[in-house]
Amino acid sequence: MSEQFERLSRLPLRDDLRGKHPYGAPQLDVPILLNVNENTYGVPDEVRQAIIAAICDEVGGLNRYPDREFTELRTNLAQYLGHGLTPDNLWAANGSNEVLQHLLQAFGGPGRSAIGFPPTYSMYPLLASSTGTRYIAGDGNGQFDLSAGDAARQVRESGANIVFLCSPNNPTGSALGLDVVEAVYEASQDAQAIVIVDEAYAEFAHTGTASALTLLEGRERLVVSRTMSKAFAMAGTRLGYLASAPEVADALRLVRLPYHLSAVTQATANAALTHSGKLLANVENIKAQRDRIVDSLRGMGLTPVASDANFVLFGGLEDPQRIWQGLLEAGVLIRDVGIPGHLRVTAGTETETTVFLGALEALLGETVS
Ligand code: PMP
């Protein structure tokens, strides 16, 4: 046990947090960062100027609390999503992680449970644990290949109060058919569960992949969560949001901290949304690199999972740790998500992808003594 861990264990920590490890994707100073699925393109100059101007307008008024209802932001987010949504259908927080935390605070908690389908987003069990919600690890069928019937059965049998569906799923990249969402919603009728479809990577899906936003009408327990951290190239802003029936947002008002979205966050996000076209301009380039990665890895004899996100999970590696380390030494940081024989890489710019593929090919060709 490290000295730091030992000191922590001497504190009067909540029993259910003892022995837990925090979320911790490595943050290393490496030239090519392809490990946390950011948009690796910088913010375009025009948008940068607009954000600076918007923040400047706020600075003189920073002695006051911000708009607690972030009305302008909810209006802009509703407009961006379309589907007939109004500001009343929108909620936002500091990253979609906080949006998910609000949902667990309001609908989970002691005596309640949430189900997810590993391999899926690693924060679901952590958010459940920090809110005292029991986490049920369902079966994601290896590569998150969930059929409507199987997912519905698991949800019905679990009796969970909250269901996490992630589409496109992290870390596999696979998108779920809407039939799965519909079947899960039906199956959660008895438990009256909140069904969350986490669409953090929706903008990268192949053309024709439908969003669960189309299912919101008439389903008051369905929630679709999104983020500005990925396609919008705004991970540093920390702005996530959801669309749902207005009463779900009202429930979240009961648990959010007062004024949880700072004036600077609101101004930045509003300026970004006004320039969404410019910010999203690189999504097609990223999708092309994602598809290139899948093709190239197949060509190297590896087994990439078909992806609708801005990353690719790939298997067929005898020694993933050696490859991860070798790539790091070549200046490329990717992610070991803990699946045996697999690694995950974010699709970056064309140049970054070329460096990654070249370094990987060289490592695979090395004879290991
Ligand atoms: N959902 C999924 C599936 C993710 O992969 C992530 C980030 N990696 C998030 C939610 C949270 O992102 P953020 O808090 O930056 O919005």
pLDDT bucket at 184, cuts 50 / 70 / 90: very high
**C-alpha separations of 198 from 142, 191, 259 in Å:** 19, 20, 24
The answer to whether 16 and 132 have CB atoms below 8 angstroms apart is yes
pLDDT at 25 over 90: no
Question: Does 259 share its domain with 329?
Answer: no
The answer to whether 189 and 222 have CB atoms below 8 angstroms apart is no
Q: What is the pLDDT of residue 258?
A: 96
Question: Does 82 share its domain with 148?
Answer: yes
Question: Does 310 share its domain with 271?
Answer: no
pLDDT at 271 over 70: yes
pLDDT at 223 over 80: yes
Tell me the CA–centroid distance for residue 301 and ligand 1, in Å: 30
The answer to whether 312 and 293 have CB atoms below 8 angstroms apart is yes
Q: What is the pLDDT of residue 367?
A: 64
Domain count, the chain: 2
Instruction: Please say whether the dihedral angle defined by the alpha carbons of residues 125, 126, 127 and 133, taken in this order, is positive or negative.
Output: positive
pLDDT at 43 over 90: yes
Cα–Cα dist 341/336, whole Å: 10
Instruction: Please say whether the dihedral angle defined by the alpha carbons of residues 260, 264, 267 and 272, taken in this order, is positive or negative.
Output: negative
- Percentage, residues of the chain above pLDDT 70: 99
Cα–Cα dist 105/121, whole Å: 18
pLDDT bucket at 100, cuts 50 / 70 / 90: very high
Cα–Cα dist 231/282, whole Å: 8
**C-alpha separations of 164 from 103, 204, 351 in Å:** 11, 20, 35
Q: What is the pLDDT of residue 141?
A: 86
The answer to whether 292 and 206 have CB atoms below 8 angstroms apart is no
Q: What is the pLDDT of residue 144?
A: 73
CA atoms within 13 A on the CB side of 69: 7
**C-alpha separations of 346 from 75, 130, 229, 352, 353 in Å:** 31, 28, 13, 10, 9
Q: What is the pLDDT of residue 19?
A: 85
The answer to whether 156 and 186 have CB atoms below 8 angstroms apart is no
Per-residue model confidence as pLDDT tens digits over 45-94:
999 999 999 999 999 999 999 999 999 999 999 999 999 999 999 999 99
Q: Which of 126, 164, 165, 227 to mutate to test the pocket of ligand 1 (most atoms within 8 A of CB)?
A: 227
Question: Does 74 share its domain with 217?
Answer: yes
Tell me the CA–centroid distance for residue 43 and ligand 1, in Å: 19
Average confidence score pLDDT of the chain: 96
pLDDT bucket at 349, cuts 50 / 70 / 90: very high
Q: What is the CATH number of the domain that holds 253?
A: 3.40.640.10
Question: Does 30 share its domain with 68?
Answer: no
Which of 35-44, 62-71, 143-152, 360-369 is predicted with the least confidence, judged by mean pLDDT? 360-369
Which among 248, 276, 304 is the end of a domain? 276
Question: Does 22 share its domain with 55?
Answer: no
User: Is the CB of 240 within 6 Å of ligand 1?
Assistant: yes
- Reported as type and span, the H/E element at residue 91 is strand 90-93
Question: Does 305 share its domain with 340?
Answer: yes
Question: Does 243 share its domain with 322?
Answer: no
Cα–Cα dist 361/330, whole Å: 12
pLDDT at 1 over 70: no
Cα–Cα dist 300/162, whole Å: 41
pLDDT at 11 over 70: yes
Tokens at 161, concatenated = 């109060």
Q: What is the CATH number of the domain that holds 26?
A: 3.90.1150.10
pLDDT at 187 over 60: yes
The answer to whether 37 and 311 have CB atoms below 8 angstroms apart is yes
pLDDT at 369 over 60: no
Cα–Cα dist 20/126, whole Å: 9
Tell me the CA–centroid distance for residue 34 and ligand 1, in Å: 15
| Protein residue with its CA nearest to atom 2 in ligand 1 | 200
Question: Does 165 share its domain with 91?
Answer: yes
Residue 33, strand partner residues: 333
Point out the ligand 1 atom lying closest to the alpha carbon of residue 100: 10
pLDDT at 204 over 90: yes
Q: What is the pLDDT of residue 368?
A: 58
Cα–Cα dist 98/262, whole Å: 14
Point out the ligand 1 atom lying closest to the alpha carbon of residue 240: 16
Question: Does 245 share its domain with 285?
Answer: no
Mean pLDDT computed over 232-261: 98
Q: What is the pLDDT of residue 145?
A: 83
Q: Which of 103, 174, 198 to mutate to test the pocket of ligand 1 (most atoms within 8 A of CB)?
A: 198
Mean pLDDT computed over 22-39: 91
| Protein residue with its CA nearest to atom 6 in ligand 1 | 200
Tell me the CA–centroid distance for residue 200 and ligand 1, in Å: 6
The answer to whether 84 and 78 have CB atoms below 8 angstroms apart is no
The answer to whether 221 and 244 have CB atoms below 8 angstroms apart is no
Point out the ligand 1 atom lying closest to the alpha carbon of residue 166: 3
3-state secondary structure of 53: helix
CA torsion 87-176-95-257 (nearest 10°) is: 60
Which among 276, 298, 321 is the end of a domain? 276
Residues 6+ apart with CB under 8 A from 277: none
| Protein residue with its CA nearest to atom 12 in ligand 1 | 96
User: Is the CB of 311 within 6 Å of ligand 1?
Assistant: no
Mean pLDDT computed over 27-31: 93
Which among 276, 310, 330 is the end of a domain? 276
Per-residue model confidence as pLDDT tens digits over 291-329:
999 999 999 999 999 999 999 999 999 999 999 999 999
User: Is the CB of 87 within 6 Å of ligand 1?
Assistant: no
pLDDT bucket at 114, cuts 50 / 70 / 90: very high
pLDDT at 2 over 90: no
User: Is the CB of 126 within 6 Å of ligand 1?
Assistant: no
Question: Does 106 share its domain with 39?
Answer: no
Question: Does 19 share its domain with 102?
Answer: no
User: Is the CB of 166 within 6 Å of ligand 1?
Assistant: yes
pLDDT at 196 over 80: yes
Q: How far is CA 207 from the centre of its chain?
A: 20
Apex 136 CA angle, 133 and 138, nearest 5: 155
Tell me the CA–centroid distance for residue 247 and ligand 1, in Å: 24
Q: What is the pLDDT of residue 133?
A: 97
The range of the structural domain enclosing residue 232 comes to 45-276
Pairing of strands 222-227, 194-198: parallel
